[in-house]
């Protein structure tokens, strides 16, 4: 029985995705998560989830950062990105960061169901009307390199990185995560080493390179 996780912060859209998923997989086990931390927690607790339908813009994730974190920490799980960003360049970047497919939030239920079936069959899905444009869009080597660096981080280190990028001080991060300040410092040191940067500013720049403008919060 296929197991799916729908990760999106909008309850109504989660419900719509659930209906499409049930159309594709009437006997599927479908779970939901409203943000990136809950998504990562669900995958840690249920490692046999087969597919994640991932919103690019939700709490804890900006642009491609959530995809990078998920693929880095759970490389065996297929990811189908769901986004209002359906430009060929964005789709190409998502695929380069390890997504198995991409569907637009404007896609009809049948197309979403087809995308789910294709990815679960180990195929790759992009919107048919954009397939030629995506194929013609060159990959950026820096995306693949950054994905490899981020894959070295643990889940907690990724959370620390996100808070560092927001400009929080070590004590503020410790309070937010419920850990000791010296633990934050140890995580920061490990993050800088794994990302091959010297300080929090450079680490933040790397993470922000994954940002995508939220199209009027359409995601």
Q: How far is 129 from 3, CA to CA, in rounded Å?
A: 28
Domain 141-208 has CATH 1.10.10.10: yes
Widest Cα–Cα separation across the chain: 52
- The predicted-structure confidence for 168-216, as pLDDT tens digits, reads as follows 999 999 999 999 999 999 999 999 999 999 999 999 898 888 886 554 4
Encode pLDDT of 113-146 as tens digits. 999 999 999 999 999 999 999 999 998 888 888 8
- Alpha helix ranges (H) inside the chain: 11-24, 36-45, 65-73, 88-96, 109-120, 131-136, 141-150, 155-165, 170-177, 181-195, 200-208
Q: Fold match between 3-136 and 141-208?
A: no
Structural fold of domain 3-136? Rossmann fold (3.40.50)
Going from N- to C-terminal start, the domains of the chain cover: 3-136, 141-208
Q: Please, are residues 178 and 37 in contact by the beta-carbon 8 Å criterion? A: no
- Regarding pTM above 0.85, the answer is no
CB of 139 closer than 8 Å to CB of 61:
no
Question: CA–CA separation, 168 vs 114, rounded Å?
Answer: 42
């Amino acid at each position: 029985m296929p197991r799916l996780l729908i990760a999106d912060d909008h309850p109504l859209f989660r419900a719509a995705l659930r209906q499409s998923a049930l159309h594709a997989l009437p006997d599927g086990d479908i779970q939901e998560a409203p943000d990136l931390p809950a998504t990562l927690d669900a995958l840690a607790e249920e490692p046999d989830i087969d597919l994640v339908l991932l919103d690019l813009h939700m709490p804890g994730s900006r642009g491609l950062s959530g995809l990078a974190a998920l693929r880095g920490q759970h490389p065996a799980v297929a990811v189908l990105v769901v986004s209002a960003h359906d430009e060929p360049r964005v789709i190409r970047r998502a695929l380069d960061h390890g997504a198995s497919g991409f569907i637009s939030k404007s896609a009809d239920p049948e197309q979403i169901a087809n995308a789910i079936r294709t990815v679960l069959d180990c195929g790759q899905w992009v919107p048919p009307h954009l397939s030629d444009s995506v194929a013609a869009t060159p990959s950026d080597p820096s995306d693949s390199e950054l994905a490899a660096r981020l894959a070295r981080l643990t889940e907690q280190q990724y959370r620390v990185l996100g808070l560092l990028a927001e400009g929080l001080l070590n004590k503020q991060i410790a309070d937010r995560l419920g850990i000791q300040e010296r633990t934050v410092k140890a995580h920061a040191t490990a993050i800088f080493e794994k990302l091959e940067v010297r300080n929090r500013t450079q680490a933040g720049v790397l993470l922000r390179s994954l940002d995508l403008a939220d199209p009027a919060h359409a995601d």
